[in-house]
Amino acid sequence: MKTGLFFGSFNPIHIGHTAIANYFVAFTGLQQVWFVVSPHNPLKERATLLPEYHRLELVRLALEDDPGYRASNIEFRLPKPSYTIDTLAYLSEKYPEREFVLIMGADNLVTLHKWKNFEQLIRQYEIIVYPRKDSNTADLHPSLKKIMPKARITVSQAPLIEISSSFLRQAIGNGKDMRFFFREPVWQYIRNMHFYEKGK
């Protein structure tokens, strides 16, 4: 089964995230997309990053048991810090029946040469890229350009979605009603738990 891995802190997950995943399942041949929630970083303040179990629950609520999507806590159990190549190697060994594909934003592709074992990652895994307004995928590092001819990298024609979690956190902190930026169960969980509200 061809499975896309969508890594992120999802702090919080919003309709932009789910729309991107929806696009890839509908248009790229992926049969399933896993949302891989990044672990809590102890160097970040609680006010800016919810504990990992809350972020995982928000992702689960956003996906509403749809069989095309899955919330994954795999990096919670792997050594810290988490490196994408190590997570991919672990998953490939654990689920040999799946062909894992890395989903990333264009901004990550531009800095991919800084990732751990990036050459191995490119050789072994297909990558699908979604566009970002301020990232030019033609402006790649020479070390990346050198191995690009052998890479399986597709820059998708996904719609440009300019919604950021940081914008939503700030808006909620300022008392704004942002309900239509989230799936309904996600918004209710955020409201009931008073996440991102000032003084909370």
pLDDT in tens, 98-111: 999 999 998 888 88
Name the architecture of domain 2-163: 3-Layer(aba) Sandwich (3.40)
pLDDT in tens, 28-68: 999 999 999 999 655 556 667 899 999 999 999 999 989 99
Q: Measured between alpha carbons, how far is residue 155 from residues 1, 80, 105 in Å?
A: 21, 30, 9
Question: Which structure tokens are listed for 136?
Answer: 């030019």
Q: How many CA atoms does the CB half-sphere of 130 hold within 13 Å?
A: 25
What strands, in cross-sheet order, belong to the sheet with 153-155? 69-72, 32-37, 2-8, 99-105, 126-130, 153-155
Query: How high is the pLDDT of residue 5?
Result: 98
pLDDT in tens, 147-166: 777 788 888 999 999 899 99
Query: How high is the pLDDT of residue 50?
Result: 93
Instruction: Give the confidence band of 171 by pLDDT, cuts at 50, 70, 90.
Output: very high
% of the chain beyond a pLDDT of 90: 70
Instruction: Give the confidence band of 183 by pLDDT, cuts at 50, 70, 90.
Output: very high
Q: Which of 74, 83, 78, 81 is nearest to 112 (CA)?
A: 83
Question: What are the structural domain ranges in the chain?
Answer: 2-163
Query: How high is the pLDDT of residue 23?
Result: 96
Q: Which residues contact 109 (CB under 8 A, 6 or more apart)?
A: 127, 129, 135, 137, 140, 153, 155
Average pLDDT of the chain is 90
